[in-house]
Structure 1
Amino acid sequence: SKFLGKTSVIAKDTPAFIGNRIGIFGIMSLFHQVKELGLTIEEVDKLTGPVIGRPKSATFRTVDVVGLDTLVHVANGLYDNCPNDEAHDLFQLPEFIKKMMENQWLGSKTKQGFYKKEGKDILSLDLDTLEYRPNKKASFATLELTKTIDKPIDRFKVLVKGKDKAGDFYRKNFSAMFAYVSNRIPEISDELYKIDDAMKAGFGWENGPFEIWDAIGVVKAIEIMQNEGYQPAAWVNEMIASGSTSFYTVKNGATYFYDSASKSYVKKPGQESFIILDNIRETQKVWGNSDCTLFHLGDGILNLEFHSKMNTIGGGVLTGINKAIDLAEKEYHGLVIGNQGSNFTVGANIGMIFMMAVEQEYDELNMAIKLFQNTMMRCRYSSIPVVVAPHGMT
């Protein structure tokens, strides 16, 4: 994993290991909740996609791509092999899934599943009538409130307070998930971080369940769970009683997780070979503006991190790059331009350039392009090494 850039997670020998045990639980609980909450498949996909840091294919579209038969196979395996699981009944297939299996509506490979393409149109399955109908655009007031919040991890607090169907959905959904993952320790893993790592690496979630629980607030989330009729595992209550109120904590630039066996925080392994910007944000800041922040990584090396919308490059970032090189040339030894966002940068802030063009402000446009070019040249010809660390969209 050191050379392939892959995450490896050591799991115990339990049915479906970690990723599928938790992931299929999540999908099966949605299958059972969707009718109870009166939601359409488009609404569930809207609620369980990028807004909460999960792939665009969200839930039902993912099942179509993977194949319903594959999912059913794993769910049946869990139903048969985990008789003592407190959520055992959830792994039983609801009627509409049985019907879809009989009809061989397995998803993309049979040309129809929860969604069906007809010509240029995409139709959706109505789970009550089991007939296809035109796709309905889904929207929720609660989601509108999160539009200005860039990072999914910062949205959870707002989502669980929602006053509409979306709020109900998140409170039910996260309550069930938190109870379930807390009960899986030590059954499927002794350490909680392995569950988070497996969901992030295996299911493409931006944040694992324990990270989300922390983001809502462990105590606050337990109140929500109790309102929904769920209880966390006993070790979580013991953790809180001992005065520890989060699953993760940062000390001296390293992440520690709460270890339920030793009832103490233990350093998460594998952090020695790289620097996690989240962990030095508070202590190592040298300079910043609203679009970027400059940190000292140690050994005289600075790091410029972008945090503009989608990490676009506009005036603020260009100012930051110039400022960073100024400082590095005077007082430090080198500069890294890098970040741990989902994309390094999606490019120049085209919106700003477009507005200048529309308003025919050609002098300003020339200045902006010239500043961009000069800044890039400055990176190349500065008197200190400038290392750019691209990833994702660049």
Structure 2
Amino acid sequence: MKRKIEKAAVLGAGVMGAQIAALLATRGIEVILLDVLAQEPTDEERSAGLTLPDAEVRNRIARAGLQSLGKMGPMVSFGSIPEDSISFGNFEDDLAKIADCDWIVEAIVEDLTVKRGLLKRVDQYRKPGAVASSNTSGLSLAAIAAHLSEDFRQHWLGTHFFNPVRFVKLVEVVPTQDTLPEVTQSMLDLFTINLGKGAIIARDTPNFIANRIGVFNALQTIKAMMRWGLTVEEVDELTGTIMGRPRTATFRTMDLVGVDTILPVARNVYENAPGDEMRDLFIIPGFIQKMIENRWLGDKTGQGFFKRVEGEGKRGQAWALDYKTMCYRPRQKPDLPVLEEAMKIEDIRERIRFLAYAEDRAGAFVWETLSALLIYSANRVPEIADRIVAIDNAMKWGYNWQLGPFETWDALGVQRAVARLKAEGREVPAIVRRLLDSGNDSFYRREG
């Protein structure tokens, strides 16, 4: 049965909810955007003669959420949104309006109790057969809907968009054991055909796919940096474009998204994935904890792993954090001769292979981080996804990596990587052993 989504309700007008509403509106879907009730008029509203009973006051928070997108720059802004394609309301006055919606998207605060409370009310108004979903980035979908009606649970799943919604291709579709297969398929079709997204199916596990792998990789990178005594500048040189990753690499990315954002994601794995063999890695390093305590959170507080100080030029001078002393110093040009050779290699697979097997400090760092990533990703099948291509696409579409973990296995050479792991006394993942036992030596077959 082909499901038509003509009208949607987005619950929550924060950064993500407002962007989701804007995306749907630009794709021809009528949207009602709801948020909490404003408690009192602003001075500007009072000057205009408005009082609390006026809808313009009561619905201000939902309306302001959408308006704020235009102030966040071109990466977030959706430009011109069709007039009258989005209406506004609040959870107290307007929740009953969801009754004629084909899809209801919850995008409120990442708090299990708060989500349950709102969705219990949603269940009273939602029409039978309407899809309901959450944009949670890692909470259990089954736990959120555990006490709701059977029809709700059959039409309930996760639809995790990534920020900025306009440009990041990935959407993780997360069904539960109760979700009807046709509901999952209809949402996959909606995302890929109507919304132009790259949709993958993830299992209902902590942080799903991309953030589970991505945060592991970030924490492993930090651990290897400390082990090999590298600077934050050196790590960013070794984990950015040279490796087929975004130029913001590791620490510039953390400054952009907020250093503190890693904390709840890591805690979610540590507390809710007790069987994870790398669970202790998700304990945040002490110097990161200190940065959070100091409010050195990145761009939003003016300093994180990097900051600018007054000096020559309009933007001043860039300084970097020395995590050993917790003091800032002028940025240093990385002294990594292997990078000059690596930059001459155009093919990303050959370049990654060259770096991983380089016999110097940089090569040791790259091998340690990459091998840990590849082992961890391989051990997550089928825990977080049934198919390796879902994990690879999650990292390419969600984190903008050129190669996913299993494509990187192939780039390094599975047999060569396994031989080195064995020589180091490390356990080879079961999926890799089965691959080699079957007579194959790569996860993908490259044409030509």
> Taking structure 1 as the reference length, what is the TM-score of the superposition?
0.62
1:3 is displaced (CA, Å) by: 4.8
Task: State yes or no: 1:73 paired with 2:269.
Answer: no
Alignment of 1:225-236 (within 5 A): 225-236=421-432
Q: How does 1:130-169 map to 2 (within 5 A)?
A: 130-169=326-365
Deviations 1:275-299 (A, max 9, x none): xxxx4xx3xxxxxxxxxxxxxxxxx
In the alignment, is the contact (CA less than 8 A) between 1:41 and 1:60 conserved in 2? yes
Judge conservation of contact 1:171–1:224 (CA < 8 Å) in 2.
Answer: no
Distance of 1:228 and 1:27 partners within structure 2: 23
Match among 288, 298, 302 for residue 97 of structure 1: 288
In structure 2, distance between residues paired with 1:138 and 1:95: 24
1:211 aligns with 2:407: yes
In structure 1, what residue type is equivalent to 2:216? F
**2:308·2:318 contact (CA, 8 Å) conserved in 1?**
yes
Secondary structure at 1:8's aligned position in 2?
A: strand
Question: How far did 1:72 drift?
Answer: 1.1
The separation in 2 between residues aligned to 1:228 and 1:58, in whole angstroms, is: 28
- For residue 210 of structure 2, the aligned residue among 8, 11, 19 is 19
Question: Quick one: distance in 2 between partners of 1:30 and 1:114?
Answer: 14
User: Which residue is 2:419 aligned to?
Assistant: 223
Cα distance in 2 for partners of 1:12, 1:77 equals: 15
Amino acid at match of 1:49: G
Return the offset for 1:145. Answer: 1.6
Contact 1:210 1:247 in 2 (8 A): yes
What's the CA shift string for 1:238-295, capped at 9, x where partnerless?
2201201110114xxxxxxxxxxxxxxxxxxxxxxxxxxxx4xx3xxxxxxxxxxxxx
Determine the C-alpha separation between the residues in 1 that align with 2:298 and 2:424. 33
Question: Hey, what's the Cα distance between the residues in 1 that align with 2:335 and 2:246?
Answer: 18
Q: Which residue of 1 is the match for residue 370 of structure 2?
A: 174
Structure 2 contact 225–365 (Cα < 8 Å) conserved = no
Are 1:36 and 2:232 matched, yes or no?
Answer: no
Amino acid aligned to 1:245: D
Contact 1:175 1:228 in 2 (8 A): no
**Greater CA drift, 238-247 or 223-232:** 223-232
Partner of 1:272: none
Q: Could you report, residue by residue, the CA deviation over 1:332-387 in whole angstroms, capped at 9, with x for unpaired residues?
A: xxxxxxxxxxxxxxxxxxxxxxxxxxxxxxxxxxxxxxxxxxxxxxxxxxxxxxxx
Q: What is residue 59 of structure 1 aligned with on the other side?
A: 250
CA-based RMSD of the aligned residues comes to 1.3
The two structures have a TM-score, normalised by structure 2, of 0.55
The alpha-carbon distance between structure 1 residues 47 and 227, as it changes in their structure 2 partners (threshold 3 A), is farther
SS of the residue 2:200 aligns to: coil
Partner SS, residue 402 of structure 2: coil
Cα pair 1:115 1:124 within 8 Å, conserved: yes
1:83 aligns with 2:274: yes
Distance 1:117 1:147 in 2: 28
Name 2:49's counterpart in structure 1: none
Structure 2 residue ranges without an equivalent (≥5)? 1-191, 311-315
Equivalent position amino acid for 1:243 in 2 = G
Instruction: Please report how far the alpha carbon of residue 153 of structure 1 lies from its aligned counterpart in structure 2 after TM superposition.
Output: 2.1
Q: How does 1:329-344 map to 2 (within 5 A)?
A: none
- In structure 2, relative to structure 1, the CA distance for the partners of 1:145 and 1:204 (3 Å cut) is same
**CA shift for structure 1 position 79:** 1.1
**Structure 1 residues 229 and 175, CA, compared in 2 at 3 Å: closer, same or farther?**
farther
Tell me whether 1:108 sits opposite 2:299 in the alignment.
yes
How many Å separate the matches in 2 of 1:55 and 1:146? 17
1:9 is aligned, of 189, 192, 200, to 200
For residues 55 and 164 of structure 1, do their structure 2 counterparts lie closer, same or farther at Cα, with a shift above 3 Å needed?
A: same
Deviation, structure 1 residue 84: 1.0
- CA deviation after TM superposition for structure 1 residue 32, in Å: 1.7
- 1:265 equivalent in structure 2: none
Counterpart of 1:298 in structure 2 is none
- Secondary structure of the 2:270 match is helix
Amino acid corresponding to residue 306 of structure 2 in structure 1: Y
CA contact (8 A) 2:379 2:431 kept: no
Q: 1:137 is aligned with what amino acid?
A: K
In 2, the alpha carbon distance for the partners of 1:233 and 1:55 equals 28
- Relative distance call for 1:51 and 1:24 in structure 2 (3 A) is same
Counterpart of 2:343 in 1: which secondary structure? coil
CA distance in 2, matches of 1:24, 1:230: 22
The 2-side partners of 1:228 and 1:24 are apart by: 25
Which letter does structure 2 place at the counterpart of 1:174? L
Distance 1:176 1:228 in 2: 12
DSSP-derived class of the 1:145 partner: helix
